[in-house]
Amino acid sequence: MKSLALVCTLVASSLAQTNRTDGPVTSVGGESWLNHLHRTFEETSMGKTGRLGPAIPAPGEETPDSQPQLAADSTKLTTTLHGADLYRMNCWGCHGESGLGAPPEINSVINPARAMSTKLVMERMKDRGMEISRTDASELANQSKAALLERLHKGGTDMPAFPYLSEPEVRAILSYLKQLAGVPGAEKQQTAINESRLRVGEQIVKSTCHICHNAVGPNPDPDQLFNGVIPPLNTLTMRTSLPNFERKVRSGAPILMGTPLSLCRGRMPVFYYLSAEEVSDAYLYLRLYPPVSTIPNSVMAFTEQKQVASKVLPVAFSVEGAKAFPLGNASDDLSMIVFQIVMATITGLLLAGGFWFTLREIRRLTALSHSRRKLVIVDTGVAQLEIRSASDKLQLVSQSEPPSRPNDDTHDQVASRDDNQAFHHDDFRRFESTWLTRWVEGEDEAA
C-alpha cells in the first residue's frame, strides 16, 4: 500500500512538474525597431497600449509613489510563467490583449492561430463548399504552424524577430495563441515554465522597450525630449531610480522638458499589464547586463537551434530552425561602405561615358547627313543655274544678232565653271522660293 502511494505521488509530481528553460541571458543591442523601419513614434502603433499616464497634477498635489526594492538575491530567484504570461511580455505591446493587432500595420494573430488546427481547417473548407480529407487538412495546419514559427524566429516586414526565445517558450506561446483564438482543446495544452528573474527582465526589455528605445546613445536634453527624441536604454538606470522607473512604466509620470523647463505629460504608453515584480526584473536586467551597440554574437549562436515544430511535423514537411548571422565589426562595415562607394563611382563613370559616346555619335551622324543633303542640293542647283544661264544668253544673243549655236568652247567654259563661283546657296534659296511662280507664268523652262 505504501509503495502504491509512493508511486502515485511520483506520478503526480511528474505531471505537475514544469519545464525549466534558463537560456543564456544576453544584453540588448542595436537600434530600436522603429529606427530600423525608419518610422517615428507618431507614425506607428507598435509598442503602444492605448493608455497614457495621468494628467499633470495640480500645484500642491502629490502623486503617491510605490517603493519597490531590489532584493539582494534577485538574480537567484525564479518564477513560474505560462503561455499567457509569455504572450503578455512579448506580444501584447503590439498585438494587444485580444491578439487583434492594429490593421493594416499590425496583423491579427487569431486567424494564423486557427489555421494551426486541423479541425478548424476542415470546417472552414467545408463552409466554402470544398471537401478536404483529414490528411490534407493536417498538412495545411502543419504548414501554418511552420509559417508562424518562422515568423517568430525570423520576423517579417514589420514584425521584429524573437531569436532569444527558447523552444519551451515558443511552444508555450503557440499553445496560448490557440487558446486565444478559441481552438477546441487548446486549454488542455497549456504548459508552465520556470524562468529566472533576469530572463523575465530580458524578455520585457527586448520585446517591449527596444521597440522604441535604442540600446545605446546620448541622453537627450529637455529640448530634444520636447521635439520627440526617445532616450536610450543604456542611460536609464543612471537617470532614474527603481521607484520612478516602476511608476513611469506601470502608471505613467510627467517629465520636465522644453525651454523654459516645464512639467509635461509624457508620450510613453503605460504598460499597465506588467506587474511591479516584472518591472523590477527589467530594471535589474538593465543594471546587470548593460545595453551594447550591436547584437551580441552569443544570442545569434543560441538561435541556431532546431525549431520545436520539426519534431511534430511530418517527414515530408519539416522545418529547420532560423539561422541568424552575427553582425560584423566596425572595420568590416567600413570596408563594405568603401566597396559600395567605389562600385557606385565606377557605375556612374560608365554611364557617363556611354552617354557621352552616344551623344558624340548622334552629332557625327547628323553632321554627315546634313553635308550629304547639302551636296545633293548644291549639285542640283548648279545644273539648273547652268541651264538658266545658257537660256538667258541665247535670248540676249537673239536680240542683238542672228541666232547661232554656241560653239564648243563656250559650252566647255560653262560646264567647267567652279561650283562656288557659278552658284551661291543664297541664289539657290531665291531660285527655290520662286520656281513655282515662274513655272505658273511659263517663264522657267528648267522647271
Among 55-69, 277-291, 395-409, name the most confident range: 277-291
Query: Taking Cα atoms as reference points, which of 161, 159, 145 lies closest to residue 324?
Result: 161
Residue bearing cell 510563467: 81
pLDDT band at 17 (very low <50, low <70, confident <90, very high): very low
What digits encode the pLDDT tens for the residues 239-248? 899 999 999 9
CB 28 within 8 A of CB 213: no
User: What DSSP assignment string belongs to 33-54?
Assistant: HHHHHT--GGG--TT--S--PP
Query: Taking Cα atoms as reference points, which of 213, 200, 201 lies closest to residue 239?
Result: 213
The pLDDT, as a whole number, for residue 364 is 85
Angle, helices 276-288 vs 197-207, to 10°: value is 90
pLDDT band at 12 (very low <50, low <70, confident <90, very high): very low
pLDDT band at 20 (very low <50, low <70, confident <90, very high): low
The pLDDT, as a whole number, for residue 23 is 67
Which residue(s) pair with 29 in the sheet?
292
C-alpha cell, 291: 545595453
Q: Which residues contact 97 (CB under 8 A, 6 or more apart)?
A: 273
Residue bearing cell 549655236: 405
The pLDDT, as a whole number, for residue 367 is 80
What digits encode the pLDDT tens for the residues 36-76? 999 999 999 999 998 888 887 766 555 555 555 555 456 67
The pLDDT, as a whole number, for residue 365 is 83
The pLDDT, as a whole number, for residue 221 is 92
Does the pTM surpass 0.75? The reply is no
CB 200 within 8 A of CB 281: yes
- Whether 19 shows a pLDDT value over 90: the answer reads no
CB 19 within 8 A of CB 190: no
Report d(CA 28, CA 216) in Å as an integer: 9
Report d(CA 275, CA 281) in Å as an integer: 10
Q: Where are the domains of the chain?
A: 19-56+66-327, 338-441
- Whether 324 shows a pLDDT value over 60: the answer reads no
The pLDDT, as a whole number, for residue 69 is 54
Please state the rounded mean pLDDT for residues 257-283: 91
Residue bearing cell 520627440: 228
CB 233 within 8 A of CB 58: no
What digits encode the pLDDT tens for the residues 70-103? 554 566 788 999 999 999 999 999 999 999 999 9
Instruction: Work out whether the CA dihedral 45, 46, 50, 53 comes out positive or negative.
Output: negative
The pLDDT, as a whole number, for residue 438 is 59
Please state the rounded mean pLDDT for residues 147-165: 91
Instruction: Work out whether the CA dihedral 215, 218, 221, 224 comes out positive or negative.
Output: negative
pLDDT band at 9 (very low <50, low <70, confident <90, very high): very low
Query: Taking Cα atoms as reference points, which of 155, 183, 175, 168 lies closest to residue 94?
Result: 155
Backbone φ and ψ of 233, nearest 5°:
-80, -25
Least confident span in 262-266, 339-343, 367-371? 367-371
pLDDT band at 4 (very low <50, low <70, confident <90, very high): very low
pLDDT band at 373 (very low <50, low <70, confident <90, very high): low
- Whether 290 shows a pLDDT value over 70: the answer reads yes
**Checking DSSP bridges between strand 19-20 and strand 192-196, what pairing results, if any?**
parallel
Cis peptide before 104 (omega within 30 of 0): yes
Please state the rounded mean pLDDT for residues 287-298: 80
Q: What is the dihedral of CA 170, 279, 324, 331, to 10 degrees?
A: 180
C-alpha cell, 77: 530567484
Residue bearing cell 543664297: 426
Query: Taking Cα atoms as reference points, which of 205, 208, 171 lies closest to residue 189?
Result: 171
pLDDT > 90: what percent of the chain? 47
pLDDT band at 388 (very low <50, low <70, confident <90, very high): low
pLDDT band at 284 (very low <50, low <70, confident <90, very high): very high
- Whether 431 shows a pLDDT value over 70: the answer reads no
